[in-house]
Amino acid sequence: MTEKTTNGIGAPLPRESARRLAEGRGRYVDDITMPGLLHIAFVRAPFAHGRVLKIEKDDAFEVCGVVAVIEGKDLAEICVPYDTNPTGVPNHVSAPQPPLVVDESCFQGEAVVAVVATSRAAAEDGAELVFVDWDELPASCSIEEAQADSAVPAHTNFDDNLTLKHRFGAVDVSDAFANAAHVVESNFDFGRQTGVTLEPRGIIAHWDPRTEELEVWQSHQVPWQMREVYATQLGLSPQSVRVTAPDVGGAFGLKLHAYADELAVVAVSKLMGRPVKYIVDRLEAFTADAHAREARAICRMALDPQGHILGIDARVDAGFGAYAMHPRGSFGEAMQAAQMIGAPYKVGAFRAEVFGWRQNKPPSGAYRGVGQPIACAITEDMIDLAASAVGIDPVEMRRINYRSTLDEGARATEAGLVIEELSLDRCLAKLINAMDYDRLRAEQTALRGKGVYRGIGLASFVELTGVGAGLYGPLGLTVAANEACRLTLQPDGSLTCATSVTDQGQGTLSALAQLIAGEFDIAPDKVRMIAGDTGRTPYGGGAWASRGMALGGEAAKRASERMREGLFEVAAGILQCEPSDLSLANGAVVGPKGPSGLTLAEIAAICHYRPYDSPLGKVPQMTIEESFVPSDVPYIASNGVHAVHIEVDPDLGTVMLLDYWVVDDCGTVVNPLLVDEQLRGGIVQGIGAALYEECLYSEDGQFTNGTLADYVVPMACEMPDIHVGHVTTPTRSTGLGAKGVGEAGTVGAPGAVRTALNDALSPLGARVTQQPFTASRILEAVMAAEAANK
């Protein structure tokens, strides 16, 4: 921790640079307009699986304002379908996904026809007059249907729906179970969810036939990835494509992917040579945005008499969509859901099989936490089952099994996780103290006597953050994993940082400015941040897997250090001392004899205008670029423990969230204000998954809760106050020592709510296994227990 905590690392500085958002001066994609801008509305498939027989477009042209009605075959001439078949995951195969359906459509809501008009309203009027004749085909909508032997293929290119098959750990773990004192087992169900960003997806594409350049503005997390995608699909040189992500209204992984409807917009612009805007509306968002988390699992855990874990044996069946999500595939969620089971603990023997099943539903892709919320929920529920089987307190059960480092001489855990030093025991100790655990347990016991059912839930987690090139590279996926910072000292002494990192509200750009400002002891508003625009930033990953500060911060720190070294050489020459004697205080050099009056502005003026005044005879670089990707480890593991205190009404089926605590170790904290809010926001998304959120499909694949009144996301009244604590173990992979935190909240919250609910229901002999835990599912469990006790 550097001593300057006023504005450097560790200062809870507010985001002054973001004040404009509170004044309505944000610039999101839909706020951007330009002359001649056209608008698109899509005619979308009404069936889960169908074949287009005929499209009649003429009536649409009767609408004043309709300029063009474009079908799949029109775009096929200039745009190739997505080909999402990562060589490194051989069985994860996917049919080509065209921008617009050509003949086979395999999820309700897939874009079929693009109506282009002078306004969105006119485009929608036109879309209503396009007649599409369909042949409805049989569909596989649930995981059970998709994995049945007689299953209908979700896409006729295949004769079954298996699209992922993998095993982590040992082939056989049966002897760990053979001589176990206790074996506990449970099944788990996780509902299909979607990210529900308040700002829906949106894109403007402008192909200029004169310059033969494509400009795209898009609400997105990884503009560099999208530059490569559009160049590949349209057969353009990447250098002729520029993608800019302006202000983004929330992303959460949902805006990490390449969508067919957005590709269609780009292709339409290329076809027409006109700027075209398309903003997804809320109904379309539910049926066409990436889905995630649909999974079924079964897990067994073997224990010795004292409660030590001897072995874990698990199977996860994950529900994907009709196509693999482009470009990173749909396997990420399922793989981490299986591999991360038991991660916080020494588990002895470990086996986790994972299967991915194609379904006639929208493609599923990474969403905040990427499978780790499922692994954590399974693990922590099993730990509680084990604690009651062995007869020890759930806190003790966790403490005696926590892992702190890799086993002696091991390169990875049984599941293949390369884990650095963990601090779960210290996090747990701090958590138990913060929540006054013993008092809550005593109060819980007393209240049960009066028929009031309180629950205390605990969830320990390990989370993979700052993921490097080791994840996607070997799988043959062209995904940038480095983060870069191009730092420029302006003639007036201010600094410009162009970073590959992007910010959808996490505050990463403010934290980077704060970090850089701290290195020169200047005010953060003296550091201008440039991000999200491939025309003005260095190449790099963007925002995914909680990498902003972990990797982007390290690049910024290194660039700042190199810049400072160059300036100190000039200053040392002027002040007749050694560069190592120098430091900076509020933007001016401090020499051996104290403040020198030599300001950054003065040095900058010398370097830019009066190089001859530099005693070295030459001047240092005014622009320095550093790029960083972790080389020694594939990712940086962070960890923490969640706890939630709830009250369940076993007759109404309602759950009240009384209080929530989390103690998280994300290494060096640059700005605690931003980090704590990332945790709170992530926790509430995790609570949404646990209690409210599910994409409800009818048995024939019709999405049935496509409004914000029916797909329930958490709102203010039901959410608890969340008490945030920290343990700080800097990572050794970087000089900065920061680990990722963006997903830590979402990873642990579903597990905490699940264990709290089963703790609350245990005196009734009831248990819930299917998330979200709606009133109906809670009451079904209670009524089943009542029937059994009769």
Q: Is 7 in the site for another protein (CB under 8 A)?
A: no
Considering only CA atoms, which of 543, 481, 553 is closest in space to residue 511? Answer: 553
Interface of this chain with another protein, residues 637 to 666, rule: CB under 8 A: 649, 651-654
Nearer to another protein (CB atom), residue 211 or residue 707:
707
Nearer to another protein (CB atom), residue 37 or residue 477:
37
Residue from 2, 27, 87, 185 binding another protein (CB under 8 A) = 27
Residue from 713, 762, 763, 764 binding another protein (CB under 8 A) = 713
Interface of this chain with another protein, residues 323 to 342, rule: CB under 8 A: none
Residue from 707, 787, 788, 789 binding another protein (CB under 8 A) = 707
Kindly indicate which of the ranges 154-162, 326-334, 755-763, 771-779 contains the residues binding another protein, using the contact rule CB under 8 A. Answer: 771-779
Interface of this chain with another protein, residues 540 to 569, rule: CB under 8 A: none
b/e code 540-575 from CB counts within 10 Å (16+ = b): bbbbbbbbbbbbbbbbbbbbbebbbebbbbbbbebb
Interface of this chain with another protein, residues 262 to 301, rule: CB under 8 A: 281-283, 286-287
Kindly indicate which of the ranges 140-148, 512-520, 579-587, 715-723 contains the residues binding another protein, using the contact rule CB under 8 A. Answer: 715-723
Cβ of residue 163: shortest distance to another protein, in angstroms?
Answer: 26
Kindly indicate which of the ranges 153-161, 572-580, 603-611, 719-727 contains the residues binding another protein, using the contact rule CB under 8 A. Answer: 719-727
Q: Is 58 in the site for another protein (CB under 8 A)?
A: no
Cβ of residue 542: shortest distance to another protein, in angstroms?
Answer: 15
Residue from 139, 248, 555, 600 binding another protein (CB under 8 A) = 248
| Site string (731-770) toward another protein, x via CB under 8 A | --------------x-------------------------
Q: Provide the CA 422 distance to its chain's centre, in angstroms.
A: 22
Say how far apart CA 343 and CA 334 lie, in whole Å: 15
- Report whether 183 contacts 243 (CB < 8 A): no
Cβ of residue 451: shortest distance to another protein, in angstroms?
Answer: 12
Bridge partner residues of 639 (DSSP): 462, 665
Cβ of residue 677: shortest distance to another protein, in angstroms?
Answer: 5
Cβ of residue 787: shortest distance to another protein, in angstroms?
Answer: 12
What residue ranges in 327-476 does DSSP mark as E strands? Answer: 349-357, 453-465
What are φ and ψ of residue 178, in 5° steps?
-60, -50
* N-to-C CA span, the chain: 62
Nearer to another protein (CB atom), residue 129 or residue 456:
129
- Report whether 454 contacts 447 (CB < 8 A): yes
- Report whether 303 contacts 389 (CB < 8 A): yes
Residue from 8, 10, 11, 47 binding another protein (CB under 8 A) = 47
Cβ of residue 136: shortest distance to another protein, in angstroms?
Answer: 9
Cβ of residue 222: shortest distance to another protein, in angstroms?
Answer: 16
Interface of this chain with another protein, residues 161 to 220, rule: CB under 8 A: 195-200
# chain residues binding another protein, by CB under 8 A: 93
Tokens representing 467?
């993921």
Nearer to another protein (CB atom), residue 149 or residue 651:
651
Residue from 685, 731, 755, 769 binding another protein (CB under 8 A) = 685
Cβ of residue 279: shortest distance to another protein, in angstroms?
Answer: 8
Q: What is the 3-state secondary structure (H, E, C) of 262-283?
A: HHHHHHHHHHHCCEEEEECCHH
Residue from 677, 725, 731, 744 binding another protein (CB under 8 A) = 677
Say how far apart CA 630 and CA 50 lie, in whole Å: 46
Q: Distance of CA 725 to CAs 40, 240, 259, 281, Å?
A: 47, 48, 38, 38
Tokens representing 332?
């990420």
Q: Is 447 in the site for another protein (CB under 8 A)?
A: no
Q: How many C-beta atoms lie closer than 10 Å to residue 76's C-beta?
A: 15
Cβ of residue 716: shortest distance to another protein, in angstroms?
Answer: 4
Residue from 448, 528, 680, 767 binding another protein (CB under 8 A) = 680
- Report whether 218 contacts 249 (CB < 8 A): no
Tokens representing 221?
């997390």
What is the full DSSP assignment across 511-571? HHHHHHHHHHT--GGGEEEE-SBTTTS-S---S-SS-IIIIIIHHHHHHHHHHHHHHHHHH
Tokens representing 489?
């000292």
Q: How many C-beta atoms lie closer than 10 Å to residue 614's C-beta?
A: 17
Kindly indicate which of the ranges 75-83, 128-136, 221-229, 234-242 contains the residues binding another protein, using the contact rule CB under 8 A. Answer: 128-136
Q: Is residue 128 within a helix (H) or strand (E), and if so which, with residue range?
A: helix 120-128
Kindly indicate which of the ranges 11-19, 160-168, 455-463, 567-575 contains the residues binding another protein, using the contact rule CB under 8 A. Answer: 11-19
Cβ of residue 757: shortest distance to another protein, in angstroms?
Answer: 16
Q: Is 708 in the site for another protein (CB under 8 A)?
A: yes
Cβ of residue 38: shortest distance to another protein, in angstroms?
Answer: 14
Q: Strand order of the sheet with strand 655-665?
A: 453-465, 636-648, 655-665, 722-726
Say how far apart CA 378 and CA 340 lie, in whole Å: 10
